[in-house]
Structure 1
Amino acid sequence: MTVALADLDARLASMGPEELALLEEELRAKLWAKRWNRWTPYPWQVPPEHIETLGWWFQLGGRGTGKTDGCARYMVEHVNGPPCDPRLRGGHRMAIIAPTQGDAVEACVNGPSGLKAHDPRVVLRTTTGGTFARWPSGAEAKLFGAHTPDDVERLRAGGNRCLVWMEEAAAMRRLGAAITHSEMGLRIGPNPHYIASTTPKPRTELIKLTKQADVTVTRGRTRDAIHLPQEQRDKLIAKYAGTRMEAQELDGKLIEEVEGALWTARLLDATRVGAVPDTARLVVAVDPAATSHAESDEMGIIVAGLSRQYVPDLNGTPRQHGYVVDDLSGRMPPIDAARRAVEAYHAHRADAIVAEVNNGGEWIGTVVRQVDPTVNYRTVTASRGKATRGEPVAALFEQRAAHIVSSLPELEEQLTTWVPGDDSPDRLDALVWALTDLMLAPAGNLAAVA
C-alpha cells in the first residue's frame, strides 16, 4: 500500500499531541529493532544463559574475533533489561575497566565495536567525578584504567556496580588489584557479575580465573572470524603457523607454560614483591630498535635497582638483590625514546642510562646527550649469544635474588614465552642489560664482559 505524501501530511496534521507522541515512540522502537537485529553474533559472542553472582563470562579470542563487540552488545542489552536497582535513575550503575582509561574510551565507547556502535544514544561525559558512558534513561558506566597506582586508588573508591566489563584483561598492568577492588564494589542488584574480553596471555590471574567454577569461557579463533578479509586471515595464519603466536594471538589459546623458556609465570610470581626497598644503585637500561617506523621492534626501556641491604637468597647467602622497577618500552621515534629514558633517569634518581649499541644502536647516545648532556651515560656491546647472556639473569630469579615489582605484564609475557634460539624481544633484552649491569658486571665495565 502506497500513501501519497500529501495524504500523509494531512493525516499527521489531523493527529493530536498524544497520537503524535505515540507514533513517534512506535517509529523509534521499529528503528531500534531494525538496528539491533542487524547484528549477527559469532558463537563465542553469545553469552551464557546465566552468570553467577560475582561470576564471569570471559571471551578469550584471537585477533579480530570481536571480543569487544560481544561485551559492548552485552552491556547495552543489560541496560535495556530489567533495572538492577529501581531506586536508581536508569536502574544501572556499571564499570568499564581497561588497561588505561583512554583505552576504555577509545575501544569500549567510541570505537567501531564499542557501545556507541550498538546504541547511538550513548554519550561520553567527563565530570569532577570521572568519565562516564551515559544513556538517556540515566543508566551509566564509569570508565577506569588499571595501569598506575592512581588508577588502583580510583578503583578502590569507584562506587558500587551491578556489572563490570574488563576489556583486554590480560594487558592490564595491575590486573590483580583491579579484580580485588572492583569485586568489593559489585553489590548492586540481585545478580552483580563480570564480563571480560581479552587476547590471552600467560598471566597468573587469568589462568586462575579460567579454572574457577563460576567462570564461563568462550573462545574464538581468527581463522573463523569471517568478518575479517579472507586474504588477511590467510596471511596471518601462514606467517605464524605452528608457532606459539598462532596458538595464543590467533587461536585464543591460554598457554600456561612454554617449553624451554628461561622464565616461568610460577617463578616470576614466587619472586614478585610489592615495593622497592632502599637502593644502592639504579639504572635505566635501553635496548634500541635499529629502525623507526610502524613495523619496527620496540624500544626496550627498563628501570632496575640494586638493594642497599644484603638479603639472603634461596641458598641463605646474604647478597644484594635486584629489582625490576618499571617497564617504559614501546614503539616510538628515537627522540621520544631518549626523552623517556632521560625522564626516567631523573624521576628515579638513577645512577646511569645503560644502552646497547649493537645493530646500529649508536644513535641513542647522541640523542640522549642532545636531550640532556648532564646524564651519566654508558654503552654495552654484546659479544655473546642472547641465550648465554639471558641464562645468568634467569638464574638470579631462580636464586630468589631478582624480583619484579608489582606487575609488568608486557615484559612478563616476553620473559615467559621467549625460548633461546628465537629472536629475543627488546623488553627482555633491556632487562638483561639492566640486571647484568647491577649484579653480574663491574659498574661501568659491562661492555668488557657482555
Structure 2
Amino acid sequence: MTTATEGLDARLAAMSPAELALLEEELRAKVWAKRWGKWTPYPWQVPPEHIETLGWWLQLGGRGTGKTDGCARYMVEHVNGPACDPRLKGGHRMAIIAPTQGDAVEACVNGPSGLKGHDPRVVLRTTTGGTFARWPSGAEAKLFGAHSPDDVERLRAGGNRCLVWMEEAAAMRRLGAAITHSEMGLRIGPNPHYIASTTPKPRTELIELTRRTDVTVTRGRTRDAVHLPEEQRRKLIEKYAGTRMEKQELDGLLLEDIEGALWSRAGLDGTRAGAAPPMSRVVVAMDPAATSNEESDEMGIIVAGLGQQYIPDLNGTQRQHGYGLDDLSGRMPPLDAARRAIKAYHQHRADAIVAEVNNGGDWIGTVIRQIDPTVNYRTVRATRGKLTRAEPVAALSEQQAVHIVGSLPELEEQLVSWVPGDASPDRLDAWVWALTDLMLAPAGNFAAVA
C-alpha cells in the first residue's frame, strides 16, 4: 500500500498546475455524476411542471423537510440544462438571496443541503464584484443578503439574472425590498423565474405571494420527512403537538391572524414606518431567558425610541409616537448579550439600557457595569401579570401611536401569534418593557398636549 501511495504521490508531484487543475475538474465531474442519480426527492421537492412559465415555485415546509435541498437541486439542474442566454459564459447568471449573505454561503452553498452537496464542482469565489457560486462551465450565482440597508442597495445594483433563489424568505428583514429589486433584474432568457424556500411565518409579503396566480406552492410536513432521524422527528412532534408552533414550524402551514392575539398583522402593517424620525429618547430593553434551555429560550433585546414630534393618533390626540428600531434578540451566552446591548446603546445613542430582573436577570447589571461603567442602566421588575403589562402597549398600537421601522420579522411573528395565557416569548417581553418605559412609565411623555 505504501509503495502504491508513494507512486501516486510521485505522479502527482510531476504534474504541472494546469494538469492538476484538469485532473481535479475530472474527479469532481465523476463525483457529481455518481451523486446525482442517488437523490430521492420528497413529493414537495419535485418542481411543478412548466415551472419556467409560472413565475414562482414556493416551497413551504416544516423543519427538516428539505426545502433548501430541493432548491439547491433545482438550481444545479437549471445550470446543467439549456442555456438561458447562449451569449453568456455557461449560459446562466443567477442570484441567491438569504436573510444575510453569510446565510447564503453557509446554507445554500457550503451546507450539506447546499449546492456543493449536489454538485461538488461548485466553487465559492469572492471578488471586488461580490461573492459568487461558480460552475466549471462559467455559470454563476451571486450571493446576497436582505438584512441591512446596504444589502438592499447591493440588490438594487445586483445585475440581470435568469433565476433567483430566495432562501428562508419569511426570515428576511427586508423581504419586500428583496422581491422588488430582484424582480427588476430578473430578465435574462425567455422565462426568468423564482424559486423560494421557507418555513412559513405571518409575513404580509409571503401571504400575498401565496395568493398570486403565478405562484405554485408545495408543502412538506416534518412528520413526513422520513430522511430526518426518527427520534428527532418524534421529539419535535411530541413537544409541539396541538400548538400553533406545530402547525407553523412542523406542518408548514401559513398562519395569518390568530384569534385572541393582542396584535394583528394588518395593524402592524398599517402603522409601519419607512424610516425613523428624530428621537427624543431611545432605550435598549432586555428580557433575560427564563431558563438555560438553548433550544427554546432567547434573550430579548429590543431597541425602541420616542419621536420628537407630536403627531395625531387614531383619536386625533397629539402625542409623541413610539418606534421599534431594531431587534437584536437571540440565543446567546450572557456575556454576548450584554456586549450586544452595550453596542446598540452606543450606536443608537440610547438614554438607557432597561432590563427585567424577575427571572434571574440580576446578572445583567453586574456584567454591563464590568464591561462599560459609562452605560446608564436601570432595572424593571414585573409586579403585574404579563397580560396586564402587554395590554396597554397593544392599545398604543391600536391607537396608531406605535410604529415598527422597516421590518422586524421575528418580533412581529411573536406579537401576532401570542395569545394571553400562553408563555410570552422574550422578544415580545422586551418590546413591552421598551414601550412601557418610553410611553407609559411616569418618566415617559404619554400625556396629551393642547
What residue is the counterpart of 2:405 in the other structure?
405
Q: Deviations over 1:29-53 (max 9, x none)?
A: 8765442111011000000111255
What residue is the counterpart of 1:281 in the other structure?
281
User: Distance between the aligned counterparts of 1:289 and 1:243, measured in 2?
Assistant: 21
C-alpha spacing 1:380/1:45, structure 2 compared with 1 (3 Å): same
C-alpha spacing 1:239/1:311, structure 2 compared with 1 (3 Å): same
Stretches of structure 2 that go unaligned for 5 or more consecutive residues are 1-23, 446-450
Q: Conserved in 1, the CA contact under 8 Å of 2:54 and 2:215? A: no
AA at the equivalent of 1:144: F
The SS at the match of 2:51 is coil
The SS at the match of 2:206 is helix
Q: Deviations over 1:314-372 (max 9, x none)?
A: 01111110001110111111111111111111111111111101011011011111111
What residue is the counterpart of 1:195 in the other structure?
195
Under a length normalisation based on structure 1, what TM-score does the superposition of the two structures give?
0.91
The SS at the match of 1:152 is helix
AA at the equivalent of 1:306: L
Q: Conserved in 2, the CA contact under 8 Å of 1:58 and 1:197? A: yes
The SS at the match of 1:121 is coil
User: Distance between the aligned counterparts of 1:107 and 1:31, measured in 2?
Assistant: 21
User: Distance between the aligned counterparts of 1:377 and 1:32, measured in 2?
Assistant: 56
The SS at the match of 1:340 is helix
What residue is the counterpart of 1:5 in the other structure?
none
Q: Equivalences for 1:147-166 in 2 at 5 Å?
A: 147-166=147-166
The SS at the match of 1:396 is helix
What residue is the counterpart of 1:39 in the other structure?
39
C-alpha spacing 1:366/1:88, structure 2 compared with 1 (3 Å): same
C-alpha spacing 1:233/1:296, structure 2 compared with 1 (3 Å): closer
**1:408 offset after TM fit, Å?**
0.3
What residue is the counterpart of 1:269 in the other structure?
269
**1:54 offset after TM fit, Å?**
7.3
What residue is the counterpart of 2:244 in the other structure?
244
**1:27 offset after TM fit, Å?**
10
User: Distance between the aligned counterparts of 1:371 and 1:187, measured in 2?
Assistant: 51
Q: Deviations over 1:212-240 (max 9, x none)?
A: 00000000000000001222212211221
Q: Conserved in 2, the CA contact under 8 Å of 1:51 and 1:214? A: no
User: Distance between the aligned counterparts of 2:29 and 2:372, measured in 1?
Assistant: 62
User: Distance between the aligned counterparts of 1:26 and 1:111, measured in 2?
Assistant: 23
Q: Deviations over 1:367-423 (max 9, x none)?
A: 111111111111100000001100100010100000100000010011011111111
C-alpha spacing 1:136/1:390, structure 2 compared with 1 (3 Å): same
AA at the equivalent of 1:433: W
User: Distance between the aligned counterparts of 1:366 and 1:28, measured in 2?
Assistant: 54
What residue is the counterpart of 1:15 in the other structure?
none
C-alpha spacing 1:26/1:293, structure 2 compared with 1 (3 Å): closer
**1:444 offset after TM fit, Å?**
8.6
RMSD of aligned alpha carbons: 1.8
Task: Establish whether residue 370 from structure 1 lines up as the match of residue 400 from structure 2.
Answer: no
User: Distance between the aligned counterparts of 1:303 and 1:79, measured in 2?
Assistant: 43
Give the count of matched residue pairs. Answer: 422
User: Distance between the aligned counterparts of 2:238 and 2:299, measured in 1?
Assistant: 27
Stretches of structure 1 that go unaligned for 5 or more consecutive residues are 1-23, 446-450
**1:253 offset after TM fit, Å?**
0.3
Q: Conserved in 2, the CA contact under 8 Å of 1:292 and 1:332? A: no
User: Distance between the aligned counterparts of 1:58 and 1:289, measured in 2?
Assistant: 34
C-alpha spacing 1:288/1:325, structure 2 compared with 1 (3 Å): same
What residue is the counterpart of 2:438 in the other structure?
438
